[in-house]
Amino acid sequence: MEDVTCKVLVIGAGPGGYVAAIRAGQLGLDTVIVEGECLGGTCLNVGCIPSKAIIHAADEFEKAAYFAGESAIGVKAGKPEIDFAKTLAWKDGIVKRLTTGVGGLLKKNKVRAITGWATFVDGKTVDVKENGSTHRIRAENIIIATGSVPVELPFLAFSGDVISSTEALALATPPKSMAVVGAGYIGLELGIAYAKLGTKVTVVEAMDKILPLYDKELTRPVEKTLKRLGVEVLLGAKAKGQSKKGLDIETADGKAETVKAEKILVTVGRAPKTEGWGRDKLVLDMDGKFLRVDDKCRTTMSGVYAIGDVTGEPMLAHRAMAQGEMVAEIIAGHNRRWDKRAIPAVCFTDPEIVSVGLSPEEAKSSGYDVKTQNFPFSANGRAMSMEAEEGFIRVVARADNKLVLGVQAAGKGVSELSTAFGLAIEMGATLDDIAGTIHAHPTLGEAFHEASLRTLGHALHI
């Protein structure tokens, strides 16, 4: 057994963990990071990055099919084909480049990376098995960044044709038919992508709306896309199990039906990974199923921190990264604390959806008297020239002092505007600040300017 001592031990090398380790190394802290599977965690290997690659390929294929017909802009092309094996190889190449890059950054910043499964002995000691040998690591500070895993339904266990998002990103070929259980962002992102690739997709959702975390105004453009692609959406329906023909369900009116499907994609959420690393050896308070942390990401044990999905919603990679960076700086003696108000949530559907801060209803329920208006992309010159008129940008502000409380958008490429939205809230911008900022023309960002002007009562282009 090798004994290792360090200032900082990070358990889990997903976005939160590797950023924490890199930042700790930059600050001169003796740091070790342990990962049981692959550097980059779910996000880089089987989540954020590969899913966006598949979504991009699907978008390009749909665009090529559009140009094979009568396109509005006069571009004509032949009937498209897709070599899906090549698509997957391209996607895997991106993943490899990024994970290799993470390894290089850890090495550059003098972080020791150990591949193995970490198990707590006590609040300062962890055992890690690597290639048959065991490392006993003693650390002054430990950062738990174990992430999350797909939720498995007991009557639809992941096996064979019942798949999670992980398997959906590695299918040998697009299936002829697919049932998606759950109309959250993961299910709709992948469902829309496969529908564009020619799969007959049926979405089964127990609630009475798609994307339950977003309001109806934001989800309406996505509903139009689902209809255009021929995706059948069964709301108020419950999955019951797998049969020879596909997915057995109970419809909203209580009828038993079977959705024909080659593959059943279960996307009913993700669960924090709180087991398998010796939590029983520690005295940690829980916040429901998550680890409870304070505004410095400290757990109830001295010197033990937790970041990312294991600490609760929103379960987003960029939240984990920000927490990891913060905790490394706190250990180095910096005065930092966590504030989640300006975290963008992005849904990479078609069109994309972005939400930062408070929605109109959330602001009202928090006791604010609000002013809110949106500006449609159908009145934006750049959107018109991109054939991207669907959607809008909406601003929510306090009525008394015009402080911006939230920004939401639906539209093509609005994920790239999320930084501007988040920055406005982070900096405490008012409607006048945004209205007084000169936005380049012609850009989609002008709709942010116009939404603010409209909320003030004097929009220029509508």
* Residue 131, pLDDT score: 82
Domain limits, CATH 3.30.390.30, in the chain: 345-456
User: Which pTM was predicted?
Assistant: 0.96
CA 188/CA 347 separation, integer angstroms = 9
- Which tokens sit at 71? 């396109």
HSE, CB side, 13 Å, CA atoms: give it for residue 90.
Answer: 13
CA distances from 54 to 38, 88, 92, 161, 226 (A): 20, 8, 10, 19, 18
The terminus-to-terminus CA distance of the chain in angstroms comes to 71
Identify the H or E element spanning 49. helix 48-68
* Residue 84, pLDDT score: 97
* Residue 314, pLDDT score: 95
Nearest Cα residue to 413 out of 458, 439, 457, 443: 443
Domain limits, CATH 3.50.50.60, in the chain: 2-53+85-149+271-331, 162-268
The residue annotated as part of the active site, out of 56, 439, 441, 449, is: 441
* Residue 132, pLDDT score: 82
Spell out the CATH class of 345-456. Answer: alpha beta
Q: Which listed CATH number (3.40.50.720, 3.40.50.970, 3.50.50.60, 3.40.50.2300) goes with 2-53+85-149+271-331?
A: 3.50.50.60
CA 300/CA 294 separation, integer angstroms = 9
Tell me the three state secondary structure of residue 199.
coil
**Overall fold of domain 162-268:** FAD/NAD(P)-binding domain (3.50.50)
Q: Is 458 tagged catalytic?
A: no
CA 381/CA 386 separation, integer angstroms = 9
* Residue 359, pLDDT score: 97
DSSP per residue, 253-299: TS-EEEEE-SEEEE-S-EEE--SSS-GGGS---EETTEE---TT-B-
Mean pLDDT by 10 residues, the chain (462 residues): 93 98 98 96 96 98 95 95 97 97 98 96 94 92 98 97 98 98 98 98 98 96 98 98 97 97 98 96 96 98 98 97 98 95 96 98 98 98 98 98 98 98 97 98 98 97 94
Contacts for 21 with CB less than 8 Å, ≥ 6 apart: 8, 10, 13, 31, 33, 106, 109, 111, 324, 328
CA distances from 244 to 247, 248, 262, 454 (A): 8, 10, 9, 55
- Residue 177 φ/ψ, nearest 5 degrees: -145, 150
- Residue 16 contacts residue 44 (beta carbons within 8 Å): no
- Residue 13 contacts residue 33 (beta carbons within 8 Å): yes
- Residue 428 φ/ψ, nearest 5 degrees: 70, 40
